[in-house]
Amino acid sequence: MLMVMRRLGWLGRVMIIAPSVLTANLADLAQSCQKAVDSGLDWLHLDVMDGNFVPNLTFGPPVIRSLRKALGPEPVFDAHLMISNAETCFQDYIDAGCNHLSVHVEAATHLHRLVTAIRAAGASVGVVLNPGTPVDAALEVLSELDLVLVMSVNPGFGGQSFIPTVEQKIRRLKTAIDAQVAAGGRPVQIQIDGGVKSHNIAMLRDWGVSNCVVGSGLFNEKASVQENLEIIKAALEA
């Protein structure tokens, strides 16, 4: 597992920036993602929505497979499965080229069985906590996880405001993860998604977040991905 974590860039890193490809130019997705990779970003966050678990519909394994073919083996494909049938189709996403799968607590009938099955299939695994999902849902399976994704907006739509009450959720997770590691258990990343920008990313790091999904803060018409990334890096260093 240590080798897997190194492959995913989870050791010796202060903050992982995972650009959300949903905010990229979908008409030329591969080129937009390549610009992010060329800027030094080795994670790509793939928002998979099925129009059922969440209202929107995005893409699935065929698009991911094409994106993997275009970008090659190096970028980490971090798939956020906002779908109701992850228990029956998670293997399709691994086969398409995903390195990591995060699944929603509410979408899994048998959460422990699902996360252990994903790990057995060769991917790293996380669970997702919506703003209304209690922390305890993740703590029940924390020893089996590589990552907990905390949603700071309600999933399914972009452009929402950051929900500041996630602070206590993140701090509880950080305390539990630190205790698990101190007891010789697995280290677990805390990832956050929703409203992450240069003005709040340092605050999130101080709360205990080590992996931030950034959408319009990287992909926008005001500046290039590289220029926006430099602004975010400056905010983290300030």
What does the alpha-carbon distance between residue 79 and residue 97 come to, in Å, rounded to a whole number? 10
The residues annotated as belonging to the active site are: 47, 193
In the predicted structure, residue 9 carries a pLDDT above the cut 50: no
Which strands make up the sheet holding 100-104, listed edge to edge?
A: 16-19, 211-214, 189-193, 147-151, 124-129, 100-104, 76-82, 43-49
- For the chain, the domains span 2-237
Domain 2-237 sits in CATH at: 3.20.20.70
In the predicted structure, residue 78 carries a pLDDT above the cut 90: yes
Instruction: Give the rounded percent of residues in the chain with a pLDDT score beyond 90.
Output: 86
Q: What is the pLDDT of residue 238?
A: 81
Q: Contact 90/114 with Cβ under 8 angstroms?
A: yes
In the predicted structure, residue 23 carries a pLDDT above the cut 50: yes
Q: What is the pLDDT of residue 160?
A: 64
C-alpha dihedral sign at 105, 106, 112, 115: negative
Q: Contact 224/29 with Cβ under 8 angstroms?
A: no
CA-angle at 213, arms to 208 and 214, nearest 5°: 120
Q: Give the pair of three-digit tokens for residue 145.
A: 């996880």
In the predicted structure, residue 158 carries a pLDDT above the cut 90: no
Q: Give the pair of three-digit tokens for residue 89.
A: 């189709």
In eight-state DSSP terms, residue 101 is: E
Element (H, E) at 89: helix 86-96
What does the alpha-carbon distance between residue 192 and residue 217 come to, in Å, rounded to a whole number? 14
In the predicted structure, residue 159 carries a pLDDT above the cut 70: no
> 80 phi and psi, to 5 degrees?
-100, 105
Q: What is the pLDDT of residue 156?
A: 66
What predicted TM-score, i.e. pTM, was given to this entire model?
Answer: 0.92
In eight-state DSSP terms, residue 26 is: G
The dihedral over CA atoms of 223, 163, 128, 96, expressed in degrees to the nearest 10, equals -20
